[in-house]
């Protein structure tokens, strides 16, 4: 949608790069625990992509909330990406979304057609995910923000967690990296329109088809790669599972233009915060700075980071290929701790 309003001129930092610093968040939540309940299957101990609460032996609800300032000026694309990003948290837990509510903050003088385009696109993306956008809450704010609170369902015995990776697993990724780098470079006129469009298309894509293809293979650990970057989320997965992730630098997939942007010195505001969070847990083994920046780049609505027994990967790769889905094997899980990028 063409719009005379520059959404990105109204915010301090858009997309998942706007996340509260992971290191400060960890400090803030230290010692905070919800009321103990045997039916709270996933909460803050350890934290994950969404909360999961068991209703009975066959059903559990998945609940998540995610919102952020705009990272681009097209209001419809912003609404679609913000919705996909929130819905993808449910898919990252192995669930399926049912109903969503808008979480919105807009300047009072923002044109109504701009707000309408955001909401309509979010509703369409929610329907695409098999869910319903049923309402929401909107406040006045000088900085636009939009996202969803989403409720889904999952079988209590089929919840995907970040804490169950095992030595001998392969590590896989279902979307290429570099959304923050490409969009930042695009705002400076340093990447082609086709490269920018490929990045926004990746961000607007749901992880539903990847999750559906993955489900029969019973992965051990799953998370989605968002604001903390690949290295930050790999660090969380390794730490919560009590294992070491070994990532192959040559296998890290990048969006067209992302590596070139990194080598040209492009960085987002989330890059230093992600380094502050994960650097002590990472061994980079002489990795070139361009690939380091790719690994720390905050992703908006990124792919699934998956571990599962290595012997299942060939059949899984064939299944993804048959569905025309992206899949990259980027490493392995070993005994130990931290993340090695070699």
Indicate which residues carry an active-site annotation. 16
**Phi-psi category of residue 165: left, alpha or beta, with phi > 0 → left and psi -120 to 50 → alpha:** beta
Are 289 and 243 within 8 A, CB to CB?
no
Name the residue with tokens 């803030």: 28
Beta partners for residue 221, in sequence order: 307
The 3 state secondary structure assigned to 90-119 is: HHHCCCEEEEEEEEEEECCCCCHHHHHHHH
Q: Are strands 169-173 and 304-309 parallel, antiparallel or unpaired?
A: antiparallel
Are 175 and 202 within 8 A, CB to CB?
yes
Stated as kind and residue range, the H or E segment containing 53 is: strand 51-54
Are 207 and 96 within 8 A, CB to CB?
no
Name the residue with tokens 């290191």: 23
CA gap 233, 164 in Å, rounded: 14
CA distances in angstroms from 94 to 38, 90, 196, listed in the order given: 20, 7, 30
């Amino acid at each position: 949608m063409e719009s005379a309003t520059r959404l990105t001129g109204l915010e301090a930092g858009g997309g998942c790069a706007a996340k509260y610093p992971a290191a400060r968040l960890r400090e803030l939540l230290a010692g905070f625990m919800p009321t103990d309940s045997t039916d709270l299957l996933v909460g803050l101990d350890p934290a994950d992509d969404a909360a999961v609460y068991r209703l009975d032996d066959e059903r559990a609800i998945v609940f998540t909330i995610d919102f952020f300032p705009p990272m681009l000026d097209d209001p419809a694309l912003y609404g679609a990406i913000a919705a996909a990003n929130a819905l993808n948290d449910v898919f990252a837990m192995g669930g399926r979304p049912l109903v969503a509510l808008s979480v919105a903050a807009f300047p009072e003088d923002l044109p109504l057609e701009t707000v309408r385009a955001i909401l309509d696109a979010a509703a369409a993306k929610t329907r695409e995910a098999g869910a319903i956008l049923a309402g929401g809450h909107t406040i006045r704010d000088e900085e636009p923000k939009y996202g969803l609170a989403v409720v889904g369902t999952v079988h209590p015995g089929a919840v995907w967690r970040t804490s169950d990776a095992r030595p001998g697993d392969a590590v896989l990724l279902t979307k290429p990296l570099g959304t923050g780098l490409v969009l930042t470079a695009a705002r400076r006129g340093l990447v082609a329109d086709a490269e920018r469009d490929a990045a926004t298309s990746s961000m607007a894509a749901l992880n539903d088809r990847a999750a559906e293809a993955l489900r029969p293979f019973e992965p051990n650990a799953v998370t989605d790669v968002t604001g903390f970057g690949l290295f930050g989320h790999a660090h969380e997965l390794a730490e919560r599972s009590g294992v070491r992730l070994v990532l192959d630098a040559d296998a890290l997939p990048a969006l067209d233009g992302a590596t070139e942007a990194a080598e040209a010195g492009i960085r987002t505001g989330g890059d230093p915060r992600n380094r502050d969070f994960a650097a002590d847990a990472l061994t980079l083994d002489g990795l070139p700075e361009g690939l380091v920046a790719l690994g720390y780049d905050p992703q908006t609505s990124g792919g699934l980071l998956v571990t599962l027994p290595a012997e299942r990967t060939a059949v899984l790769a064939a299944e993804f290929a048959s569905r025309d889905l992206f899949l990259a094997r980027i490493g392995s899980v070993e005994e130990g701790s931290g993340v090695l990028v070699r």
